[in-house]
């Protein structure tokens, strides 16, 4: 690109590598140091050769593969957990101390709304028979006010639990330091379960309720999750360590522009400012590119030093990545709606999730707690019951492994509906294809190199036969010249003698 590499003074090429790298690191984000010629960063100027190949591998090929594996892990976790949270462990397993996996930023200010069905909290004994049950919104039971805070929901549930049995006098429902809901009955003889039904009528049939969450307490529903237990992660099969301080858009084409019909306002909140970072709003306009949106976020003085936005290339496309540089849990919302957030596909980032995905440690420690069955209604007594040999959820989980599920675009794989096995196969096939292409290119480059070397040898090399013949010619010429000189010397000697 015009950078002088060779001159009368040497140009030092330098690079300081990282000692440790994680899935969220990228050159575009400034995580990697540049390759410098003197004081100039030439990383983006490398177009060919080994250095360019290594940089392309680091910044394009491997991140694309990482995104595909993370997408597989994320889909697997979400789909399996949604099913497992519909069930509960078979009796006589005791479910009396549960900590959800979902981390909420600020339970006291984040509000929750239930719709599309009814959630029942069920208490049952060691034989699986109902002791008491209540719908979340039942005025005569738990009596939670729809749209109230997460903390008020926990308080309502705790009050109801403590009133159902003397053994539950010390039962607690609260949120721990990570913002996870924790339910502790304080007794081993009573268990708790959750069932979502189509209506307030007992036995109306299992159907996940829609749970809307207001992330920043402005009265606007920002995200929706299917299933009460799934929303809190109370009965998860898989767990992971999500990157709660980073959000990213969906994978967008290089020429992407925002598709909203009018200007929208993005809002930024974190655990240090749960109702919004003061002054931390950014206006985005229709046809804005990801680069334009990132620049608008980074130019906001109130967000400086707290929020950083970057555009990261991936598999021929790009993503908008927004992160809290202080490491606080982050939430990105929109004033008065979700059109811009939806269009961008902004959500908590899943990069690196495949590295932490694991079976819930509770299930690893005690497999009897596996949620294989479901809470059902006994038509004779009109009460809920948990069986000892119910395999309803186990069958659903088995069927899920062969069913098509929705996956988002990642790396160079498109969005669509596909089975987990086929998606994993696509990742392996693509990796094999790229390997084959690389090997072919290497063979061609090696053959070209050999050809050039042969041509160079033809021009600059020595032909021994030709040189030997030339040597013989020179040798005979020397002998002939010596004979001429010898004869001439004899003539001069004869002439001298005649004179004398």
Q: Which helix (H) or strand (E) holds 102?
A: none
**Token output for 306:** 């707290």
Compute φ and ψ for 32, nearest 5 degrees.
-100, 140
- Helices marked H in 289-338 — which ranges? 290-298
- Helices marked H in 369-463 — which ranges? 392-400, 420-460
Q: Is 381 helix (H, G, I), strand (E, B) or coil?
A: coil
Q: Which long-range contacts (CB under 8 A, 24 or more apart) does 433-442 make?
A: 434/61
Question: What is the rounded CA–CA span in Å between residue 87 and residue 89?
Answer: 7
Are 247 and 349 in contact, with CB atoms under 8 Å apart? yes
CA 119 to chain centre: 31
Q: Is 274 helix (H, G, I), strand (E, B) or coil?
A: coil
Are 164 and 121 in contact, with CB atoms under 8 Å apart? no
- Helices marked H in 125-241 — which ranges? 150-162, 228-232
CA 7 to chain centre: 45
Question: What is the rounded CA–CA span in Å between residue 245 and residue 110?
Answer: 17
Supply the pTM of this predicted model. 0.85
Q: What is the pLDDT along the chain (500 residues), one digit of tens a residue?
A: 777 778 888 888 899 998 888 888 888 888 899 999 888 999 989 988 888 989 988 988 888 999 999 999 999 999 999 999 999 998 888 899 999 999 999 999 999 999 999 999 999 999 999 999 999 999 999 999 999 999 999 999 999 999 999 999 999 999 999 999 999 999 999 999 999 999 999 989 899 999 999 999 999 999 999 999 999 999 999 999 989 999 999 999 999 999 999 999 999 999 999 999 999 999 999 999 999 999 999 999 999 999 999 999 888 899 999 999 999 999 999 998 999 999 999 999 998 999 999 999 999 999 999 998 899 999 999 999 998 888 889 999 999 999 999 999 999 899 999 999 999 999 999 999 989 998 998 899 899 999 998 888 777 766 777 778 888 888 888 888 888 888 888 888 888 888 76
CA angle 116–85–113, rounded 5-degree value: 35
């Amino acid at each position: 690109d015009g950078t002088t590499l060779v001159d009368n003074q040497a140009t030092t090429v330098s690079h300081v590598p990282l000692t440790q790298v994680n899935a969220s690191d990228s050159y575009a984000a400034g995580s990697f140091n540049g390759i410098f010629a003197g004081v100039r960063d030439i990383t983006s100027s490398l177009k060919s050769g080994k250095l360019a190949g290594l940089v392309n591998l680091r910044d394009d090929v491997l991140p694309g593969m990482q995104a595909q594996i993370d997408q597989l892990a994320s889909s697997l976790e979400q789909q399996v957990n949604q099913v497992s949270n519909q069930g509960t462990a078979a009796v006589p397993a005791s479910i009396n101390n549960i900590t959800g996996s979902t981390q909420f930023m600020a339970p006291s200010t984040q509000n929750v709304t239930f719709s599309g069905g009814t959630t029942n909290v069920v208490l049952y004994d060691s034989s699986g028979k109902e002791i008491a049950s209540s719908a979340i919104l039942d005025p005569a039971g738990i009596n939670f006010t729809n749209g109230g805070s997460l903390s008020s929901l926990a308080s309502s549930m705790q009050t109801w639990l403590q009133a159902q049995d003397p053994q539950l006098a010390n039962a607690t429902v609260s949120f721990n330091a990570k913002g996870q809901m924790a339910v502790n009955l304080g007794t081993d003889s009573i268990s708790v379960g959750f069932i979502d039904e189509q209506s307030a009528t007992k036995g109306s049939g299992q159907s996940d309720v829609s749970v809307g969450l207001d992330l920043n307490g402005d009265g606007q529903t920002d995200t929706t999750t299917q299933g009460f237990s799934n929303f809190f992660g109370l009965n998860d099969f898989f767990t992971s360590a999500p990157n709660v301080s980073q959000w990213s858009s969906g994978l967008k084409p290089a020429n992407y522009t925002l598709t909203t019909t009018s200007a929208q306002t993005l809002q930024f909140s974190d655990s240090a400012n749960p109702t919004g970072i003061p002054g931390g709003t950014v206006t985005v306009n229709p046809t804005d590119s990801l680069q334009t949106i990132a620049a608008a976020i980074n130019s906001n003085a109130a967000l400086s030093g707290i929020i950083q936005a970057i555009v990261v290339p991936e598999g021929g496309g790009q993503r908008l990545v927004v992160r809290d540089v202080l490491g606080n849990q982050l939430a990105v919302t929109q004033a008065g709606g979700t059109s811009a957030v939806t269009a961008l596909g902004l959500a908590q980032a899943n990069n690196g999730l495949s590295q932490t995905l694991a079976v819930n440690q509770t299930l690893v420690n005690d497999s009897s707690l596996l949620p294989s069955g479901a809470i059902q209604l006994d038509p004779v007594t009109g009460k809920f019951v948990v069986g000892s040999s119910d395999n309803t959820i186990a069958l659903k989980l088995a069927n899920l492994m062969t069913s098509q599920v929705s996956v988002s675009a990642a790396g160079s794989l498109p969005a669509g509906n596909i089975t987990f096995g086929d998606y994993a196969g696509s990742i392996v096939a693509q990796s094999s294809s790229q390997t084959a292409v690389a090997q072919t290119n290497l063979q061609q480059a090696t053959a070209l190199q050999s050809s050039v070397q042969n041509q160079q040898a033809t021009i600059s090399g020595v032909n021994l036969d030709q040189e030997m013949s030339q040597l013989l010619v020179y040798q005979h010429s020397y002998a002939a010249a010596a004979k001429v000189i010898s004869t001439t010397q004899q003539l001069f000697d004869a002439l001298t003698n005649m004179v004398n």
